[in-house]
């Protein structure tokens, strides 16, 4: 059972998580196939004919998301009551100061105090949060004997908070928990209880069990996925996002769309409902994102975008698709070198990657072109139509203010091979390729980067 659980953990949910390093991902996928077969066999398959039939069933997965979600404008006031259920003293983690400028910090602290919860503060979490901040946060939490962590901020603050919550209970170096090509990946099994309060609609970190952390010294940005990182409670109040500037709002829209296109374009075939979920998220983001960008105080638009961002990566859209995340893996490496805003990097890499992937999987991109952009294909594998859909997608990203070329990020082509090698050091399948559909060799990765200069 342990092997089964590990394998499901690896392949089922967000960020292509893995327990023994991604090196053996392809082998694990085969292992998963075998497990799926045996699970069907448990369901009383007698004959070879029946067995074959069961082998054709593609969707077979486990799903769990234990986070209690409190959603809606004005819901920040629930923080006191929520926190008092979990403990008496919270480490309150924040970013570079936006929550102090907006008054959200003071409101949060006052509500906590009124509920009898005191705080220790860990401020200054940087975008692309660093492992040094995690170490600092864990030290404060230990010294102050905090019994819970509250993340008040964007994805960076939430991710740092997750790893802090686990690091407090881990005697080793917190970097052991981030996959970076090490021999033994320490996946934590315990963490302090965590409450997330997102102030930016983008990552979905508020209701998932992933975190992305940067090691500035070694130039690695990578992830940890562990069940103990699921927040106990997520208080998602779209009012907190009205102060997000236009560019960060647009990046959030790009990020959330990319989360579902990773599943949509890299997942297995035969997941029609998941496709519809993904298309729904994309269409909602394309409808409401521009409204939130045009008028940051449009609370209805903020609400719809925040809901889309949450749904895009809480596991639901991805369930059963066995997704891989090549675009994210590539962006993380570029970010590690240049500290670019996560979704600005995605906006550059995703369209270029899609054009590459459409050659191998044109049917999915034709479906994307038809259902998302209303194009009419000549056939189910009409590559021209697929490419036209990708052009429209790129045009949407440009229209909302995202960069779509490396030059706009001030990044040249000098280190393309290095990014490719570094990414493959963190994650590769049995053939040495980046998992995805199709799996990518070092040369493929460089080709995609070159298409986005
Ligand atoms: O730091 P402060 O002062 O709060 O300012 C932030 C920051 O400058 C600002 N901001 C946030 N809320 C605001 C606000 N400004 C005004 N008003 C508000 N209400 O926005 C800037 C960016 O914040 P950040 O937290 O970095 O953005 P985001 O939410 O996009 O998070 C990005 C990080 O999450 C990781 C990314 O790699 C990146 O490190 N990701 C995490 C994922 C996950 N855990 O599931 C999945 C994602 O794919 C992603 O990889
Ligand atoms: Zn992302």
194's enclosing H/E stretch is: strand 194-198
Residue 283 has pLDDT above 50, yes or no: yes
275 or 33: which carries more pLDDT confidence?
275
Tens of pLDDT along 342-370? Answer: 999 999 999 999 999 999 999 999 999 99
Give the CATH number for residue 446: 1.20.1090.10
Whether 239 is in the pocket of ligand 1, judged by its Cβ within 6 Å, is no
The alpha carbon of 259 and the centre of ligand 2 are apart by a number of angstroms equal to 6
Same domain, 420 and 299: yes
SS3 211: strand
| CATH number of residue 75's parent domain | 3.40.50.1970
Sheet-wide strand order for 194-198: 68-71, 233-236, 194-198, 148-153, 89-94, 118-122
Q: Does any ligand 1 atom lie closer than 6 A to the CB of residue 160?
A: no
Whose atoms come closest to the Cα of 221: which ligand? 1
**Distance between Cα 409 and ligand 2 center (Å):** 17
The Å distance, Cα 379 to ligand 1 centre, comes to 41
289 lines ligand 1 (CB under 6 A): no
Determine whether the shortest distance from the Cβ of 261 to ligand 1 is under 6 A.
no
**Residue that is last in its domain, among 211, 241, 271:** 241
Q: Is residue 321 assigned to a domain?
A: yes
**What ligand 1 atom has the least distance to the C-alpha of 99?**
4
Q: Which residues pair with 221 in a beta bridge?
A: 214
Residue 2 counted as domain residue: no
Element (H, E) at 118: strand 118-122
Q: Which of 210, 225, 241 represents a domain boundary (last residue)? A: 241
Domain count of the fold of the chain: 2
Domain of residue 420, residue span: 7-63+245-451
Which of 209, 241, 273 marks a domain boundary? 241
How far does the centroid of ligand 1 lie from the alpha carbon of residue 157, in Å? 7
Atom of ligand 1 nearest to the CA of 98: 3
Same domain flag for 109 and 236? yes
Domain-located, residue 1: no
Whole-number Cα distances in Å, 403 to 244, 396, 406, 410: 18, 11, 8, 11
More confident: 324 or 33: 324
| Residue pLDDT, tens place only, 15-32 | 333 333 343 344 334 333
């Amino acid at each position: 059972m342990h092997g089964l659980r590990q394998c499901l953990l690896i392949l089922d949910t967000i960020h292509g998580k893995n327990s023994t390093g991604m090196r053996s991902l392809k082998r694990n996928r085969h292992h998963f196939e075998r497990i799926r077969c045996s699970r069907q066999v448990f369901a009383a398959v007698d004959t070879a004919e029946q067995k074959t039939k069961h082998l054709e069933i593609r969707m077979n997965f486990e799903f769990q998301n234990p986070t209690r979600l409190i959603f809606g404008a004005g819901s920040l006031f629930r923080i006191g009551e929520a926190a008092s259920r979990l403990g008496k003293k919270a480490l309150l983690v924040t970013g570079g100061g936006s929550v102090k400028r907006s008054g959200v910090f003071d409101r949060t602290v006052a509500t906590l105090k009124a509920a009898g919860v005191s705080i220790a503060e860990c401020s200054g979490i940087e975008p692309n949060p660093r492992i040094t901040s995690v170490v600092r946060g864990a030290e404060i939490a230990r010294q102050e004997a905090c019994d819970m962590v509250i993340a008040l901020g964007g994805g960076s603050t939430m991710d740092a908070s997750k790893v802090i919550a686990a690091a407090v209970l881990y005697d080793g170096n917190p970097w052991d928990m981030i996959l970076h090509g090490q021999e033994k990946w320490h996946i934590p099994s315990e963490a302090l209880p965590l409450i997330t309060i997102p102030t930016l609609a983008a990552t979905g970190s508020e209701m998932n069990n992933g975190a992305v952390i940067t090691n500035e010294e070694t130039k690695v940005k990578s992830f940890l996925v562990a069940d103990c990182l699921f927040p106990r409670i997520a208080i998602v109040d779209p009012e907190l996002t009205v102060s997000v500037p236009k560019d960060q709002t647009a990046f959030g829209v790009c990020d959330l769309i990319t989360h579902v296109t990773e599943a949509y374009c890299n997942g297995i075939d035969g997941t029609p409902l998941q496709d519809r979920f993904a298309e729904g998220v994309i269409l909602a983001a394309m409808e409401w994102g521009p409204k939130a960008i045009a008028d940051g105080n449009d609370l209805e638009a903020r609400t719809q975008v925040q809901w889309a961002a949450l749904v895009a990566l809480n596991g639901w859209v991805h369930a059963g698709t066995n997704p891989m995340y090549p675009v994210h893996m590539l962006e993380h490496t570029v970010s590690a070198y240049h500290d670019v805003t996560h979704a600005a990097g995605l906006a550059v890499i995703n369209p270029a990657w899609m054009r590459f992937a459409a050659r191998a999987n044109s049917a999915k991109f034709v479906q994307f072109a038809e259902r998302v952009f209303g194009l009419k294909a000549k056939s189910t594998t009409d590559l021209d139509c697929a490419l036209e859909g990708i052009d429209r997608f790129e045009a949407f990203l440009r229209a909302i203010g995202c960069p779509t070329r490396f030059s706009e990020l001030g990044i040249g082509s000098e280190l393309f091979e290095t990014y490719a090698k570094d990414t493959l050091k963190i994650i590769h399948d049995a053939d040495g390729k980046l998992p995805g559909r199709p799996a990518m060799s070092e040369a493929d990765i460089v080709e995609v980067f070159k298409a986005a200069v």
